[in-house]
Amino acid sequence: MGEATSGTNGAGSAPRLKDVAEAAGVSVKTVSNVVNGTVHVAAATRTRVQAAIDALGYIPNVAARKLRTGRSGVIALAFPELPSPYFAELAVEVIAAARRHGCTVLMDDTAGDPRAELRIASGLGDPMIDGVILSPLGLDQHELAARERQIPLVLLGEADLGLVCDHVHIDNVTAAREAVDHLIAAGRRRIAAIGWQDPSPRATAQQRMAGYRQALAAAGLPAEPALCPPVRAYFRPDGAAAMRRLLKLPERPDAVFCFNDLMALGALRAIHEAGLRVPQDIALVGFDDVEEAEYAIPSLTTVAPDKTGIAEAAVDALLQRIAEGYGEPGRLIQPGHRLVVRESSGE
């Protein structure tokens, strides 16, 4: 049944599984296992086969695969803020994890719109999509539970949706507490937080604020409302605006914990514009460990979620659901994180 839809082999026709097998020095069955992701293949062999696929331009016939195996090898991935470096970097990791299983990823940006999230959670109405990985902001657990019975679904992000399906995210409360503990250990005592939202904070804000408050309480430090200016969104301008408000206080903070790196980078700019120094005058910690954090001046101390671990856990959970169906209850899967200490907190 149709082996490929495009690309050419040495004879000028579309490359076949046989051509890939010859180029990689393996059997046709091994190539099929890599392409379909149905059987475990050693990492070195999979890499060799993938290199041959890329070199020849072999593209599997998705419709033919669906007829043969009941699976197309296509999964959907959707984030609420794809321009955000964290989501972009995580998307790259998901694509890499899916490719290791012979899967292709279709991506979308929902902008947190419940209608767009519902469309993704329904598999876009496309029978060729085997399953969905979604980071929702607008849907509730009842809407997701109904969709999870229609198509395999795995969630990312911090929203508390009652484990209607497998849910992958780090322990944000613990991670935030570790970030603030680090500032306290460095001798900071007036620690602000940037990332709270009013009147309806997202789960990310709730969890990271909880960790912040736990760290202060354990150290006997007050949690002053003035030190937690609300933000509209989680981008650089929002962090800069919140930092400017903090700098106008009668007693400015000596450290700031930002709920993501983009707001921390905005705060860093505002501190610089005020003629103050980081970390000498104000220490700064972010969250997400986006690439820009390492190259900022000064480089940014930040919480680094295990993005590779998150992506692999999400893809593995989804493929398990695709293979086994929907009978088992949802699981909470929590990959690790670490605090990366850099110049902005005194390294």
What is the full per-residue pLDDT of the chain (347 aa) written as tens digits? 334 444 444 445 677 778 888 888 888 788 777 776 656 778 788 888 888 888 887 766 544 454 344 456 889 999 998 889 999 999 999 999 999 888 999 999 998 888 888 888 877 766 788 999 999 987 777 777 666 567 888 999 988 777 778 999 999 999 999 999 999 999 999 999 999 998 878 899 999 999 999 999 999 999 899 999 999 999 999 999 999 999 999 999 999 999 999 999 999 999 999 999 999 999 999 999 999 999 999 999 999 999 999 999 999 999 998 888 766 678 999 999 999 999 999 86
3-class SS of residue 167: strand
Domain boundaries, the chain: 17-68, 72-169+306-335, 172-305
pLDDT of 161 reads 77
How does DSSP classify residue 220?
Answer: T
Pairs from 181-185 (Cβ < 8 Å, separation ≥ 24)? 181/215, 181/218, 181/219, 182/285, 182/301, 182/339, 182/341, 182/345, 183/255, 183/257, 183/283, 183/285, 183/345, 184/215, 184/216, 184/219, 184/221
Q: Which CATH superfamily is domain 17-68 in?
A: lambda repressor-like DNA-binding domains (1.10.260.40)
Q: What is the pTM of this model?
A: 0.79
* Distance separating alpha carbons of residues 272 and 269, to the nearest angstrom: 5
Q: What is the CATH number of domain 72-169+306-335?
A: 3.40.50.2300
pLDDT of 324 reads 80
Q: What is the CATH number of domain 172-305?
A: 3.40.50.2300
Q: Do domains 72-169+306-335 and 172-305 have the same CATH topology?
A: yes
* Distance separating alpha carbons of residues 313 and 336, to the nearest angstrom: 11
Of the candidates 235, 189, 266, the one whose C-alpha atom is nearest the C-alpha of residue 83 is 235
pLDDT of 246 reads 98
pLDDT of 270 reads 98
pLDDT of 60 reads 62
pLDDT of 38 reads 55
pLDDT of 147 reads 65
pLDDT of 94 reads 97
